[in-house]
Amino acid sequence: MQKTVNILNKRAKFDYEILDKYTAGIVLTGTEIKSIRLGKASIAESFCEFHDGELFVINSHIEEYLYGTHYNHKAKSERKLLLNKRELKKLDKDSDNKGLTIVPLRLFTNEKGLAKLDIALCRGKKNYDKRESLKEQDTKRDIDRIKKSF
């Protein structure tokens, strides 16, 4: 049994207010999926854009496969995302609104070993929203400590 990979974008929940979530497949080559299964990927600074009605994840980093030959992939390249037509149309229409963007939240492999990407339609937070988020995290942490002591 192979282990599951779970690569998170930790800054996304802090920098953005999440409105809608989707799970999308990714079009990958052989060396890309091998690197992902080894956990050699990062989606920290990536985002999604539409080109000709298709959704692509941009600026995601998948390291070159160590044992790859001249067939190895480029570390940073656009990768196509696979969604239903209905979901693509809805996302395209919603992302045209001012201030909304599509951000990847999590890169993981499912039980079949296929790579999937959780994406979300997000709105950027202001600085005061971020301070409120930090305050909520601190109070939640304090409450958990108090509960643990009892």
* Mean pLDDT of all residues belonging to the chain: 88
Per-residue pLDDT at 2: 60
Q: Label residue 65 exposed, middle or buried (CB < 10 Å: 0-12, 13-18, 19+).
A: buried
Q: Which amino acid is it at 22?
A: Y
By the 8 A CB rule, do 28 and 72 touch? no
- As a whole number of angstroms, the distance between CA 139 and CA 122 comes to 25
| Percent of the chain with pLDDT strictly greater than 90 | 44
Sequence-separated (6 or more) residues with CB below 8 Å from residue 24: 55, 81, 82, 83, 116, 117, 118, 119
CA 10 to centroid of chain Cα atoms = 9
Q: What is the pLDDT of residues 105-142, one digit of tens each?
A: 999 999 888 999 999 999 988 877 788 888 888 999 99
pLDDT class of 1 with cuts at 50, 70, 90: very low
Tell me the two tokens of residue 7: 């690569």
**Band of pLDDT at residue 143, cut at 50, 70 and 90:** very high
Integer Cα distance of 136 and 2 in angstroms: 37
